Amino acid sequence: MNTVRDGYATASCGYCGEALTGRGDQQWCSTRCRQRAWRQNGAAPVTPVVVAKSDTVYECPSCEARYLEQRCPDCNTWCRRLGAGGPCPHCNDLVVISDFLDANQLVSQPPSRQRAGR
């Protein structure tokens, strides 16, 4: 018997490694090993979701420069809060979300989602 080419003699369980008996195309020795292998390999990998953190942007009332800190390092005065924002990916200047929105977009309410006839 040539064990190198004989699938019945050289086959082993894909989970526990035990020798397989029966068919040559068998992958697992039992239903228990098949289920354990599926649970181990079939589970979706848990990858952390990276969310861009929005910072609070402040503006100095004297020099009108924007900062991510509450105190202006040049004037040594307290800055006023502009809102959530961060550095622009293109020019690296500090921008606020409200810079991109119209005043009407900030105060308008979404349409109600009530069903007709109730």
Residue 21 has pLDDT above 90, yes or no: no
**Could you tell me the residue ranges of all domains in the chain?**
7-37, 55-103
Instruction: Pick the more confident residue, 38 or 1.
Output: 38
Joined together, the tokens standing for residue 8 give: 């019945």
Q: Residue type at 19? A: A
Q: What is the mean pLDDT of the chain?
A: 79
pLDDT per position as a tens digit, 67-107: 998 999 998 999 999 988 888 888 889 999 888 877 676 56
pTM exceeding 0.85: no
Instruction: Pick the more confident residue, 117 or 33.
Output: 33
Helix (H) or strand (E) holding 82, with range, is strand 80-87
Selection from 81, 33, 35, 31 nearest residue 58 by Cα: 81
Contact 82, 68 (CB under 8 A): no
